[in-house]
Structure 1
Amino acid sequence: MTWDWNGSEVAFRVAADEQTDDVLQVLDEAAGWLGARGITQWPARFEAEWVAEAIARGETWLIGVGGRVAGTITLDWEDPLWTDLGGSAGYVHRMAVRRWAAGLGVVMLGWASDAARHHGADALRLDCVSSNARLRAYYEARAFVHRGDVAVGGAPGQRRDEGPVTWVSRYELDLSAA
């Protein structure tokens, strides 16, 4: 399928190990933008080790528009935050766009829905910091249903067994109805 954003073709390519810096630049730009608005969705800076495993598994993608890196998304097939709910699902993590590509997230969610469906998943799931009302409304406006809030260890954007606790809101899109 061909994806379009503002009249330009959107390319989704699996991120290679040597593109880790590209992934980190997009994430850090988005984290800085969020932080400047007082939103603690993510840490101020991402570490390469936080994304290395997903890149090595081929689950992190770079999104290009007009030959420029416009965003990144990780789509994987398991998430311990969801073990209480059954069914097969794709899980969106670390979805971010460069500021010049604001609005591209809708295309990225459409792509992730199609990729999860193609993988045989019944749902697309994601989470965000519970206090991020604007992002929660964004997901709800795109037919994602709130599936409860859970506590995770570590700073926002991390998942650890220790450290501060962050509350996240889980959202699910039923792919059989979409």
Structure 2
Amino acid sequence: MTVVGNGGEITFRRATGVDTAEVLSVLDEAAEWLTARGVSQWPPRFDPGWVTGAITRGETWLVDLAGEAVGTVTLDWADPLWDDLAGKAGYVHRLAVRRRAAGVGVVALSWARDTAWQHGADALRLDCVRENERLRSYYEAYGFAHRGDRPVGGAPGQRQDDGPVTWVSRYELTPAPGRP
């Protein structure tokens, strides 16, 4: 998919194994920026094992601006964190944008929303660390509704059955009434 934005042409391309280092570079840059601001959304560095499965399954995308990878987003179709809610949904994970491309995040959210609707989803869902008020406000301004907080195991950004507990806030976007 190609979108024309303020900075030029924005293209979404499915990441493959050869793109793993680029995906990690975008995530690590975003994580470093968050950590420098005292936000514990993600670890300072991502373990490659956290992304390789989604890349192999074809769920991770790179966002290119004028031919340069400036963002990444993972869109999949299941998340056990949401097992208590029914309906077909798309789930956004690891959405990150390089600082020099600030503003591309909203384009990535719109792409994820449109892709979910094209796949017949009833909702687009995501989560973030509960204490990240700025990100929570960003999602709410986009139209996401808060759907409760849940504990997850492992380091921030990781999902495990054990390890430290992180509370995350869940957000859901549903189609506008009358959407075909």
Q: Is the 8 A contact 1:22 1:69 kept in 2?
A: yes
Counterpart-to-counterpart distance in 1, 2:176 and 2:121: 9
Q: Does 1:9 align with 2:9?
A: yes
Q: Is the 8 A contact 2:41 2:129 kept in 1?
A: yes
Alignment partner, residue 31 of structure 1: 31
1:34-89 residue CA offsets vs partner (Å, 9 max, x unmatched): 00000000000001111000000000000000111110000000000000000000
Shift of 1:5: 2.0
Counterpart-to-counterpart distance in 2, 1:34 and 1:7: 23
Alignment partner, residue 80 of structure 1: 80
Gaps of 5+ in 1: none
Counterpart-to-counterpart distance in 2, 1:103 and 1:129: 21
Q: Which amino acid aligns with 2:96?
A: A
What SS class does the counterpart of residue 9 from structure 2 fall into? strand
What SS class does the counterpart of residue 140 from structure 1 fall into? helix
Q: Which amino acid aligns with 1:102?
A: A
Q: Is the 8 A contact 2:2 2:12 kept in 1?
A: no
RMSD: 1.0
In the comparison of the two structures, how many residue pairs are matched?
178
Alignment partner, residue 69 of structure 2: 69
Shift of 1:9: 1.1
Q: Is the 8 A contact 2:59 2:75 kept in 1?
A: yes
Counterpart-to-counterpart distance in 1, 2:7 and 2:97: 17
Alignment partner, residue 99 of structure 1: 99
Q: Is the 8 A contact 2:149 2:167 kept in 1?
A: yes
Runs of 4+ with >4 A deviation: none
Q: TM-score, normalised by structure 2?
A: 0.96
Shift of 1:175: 2.1
Counterpart-to-counterpart distance in 1, 2:42 and 2:146: 20
Shift of 1:4: 2.1
Counterpart-to-counterpart distance in 2, 1:176 and 1:22: 35
Q: Which amino acid aligns with 1:71?
A: G
Shift of 1:176: 4.6
Gaps of 5+ in 2: none
Shift of 1:140: 0.2
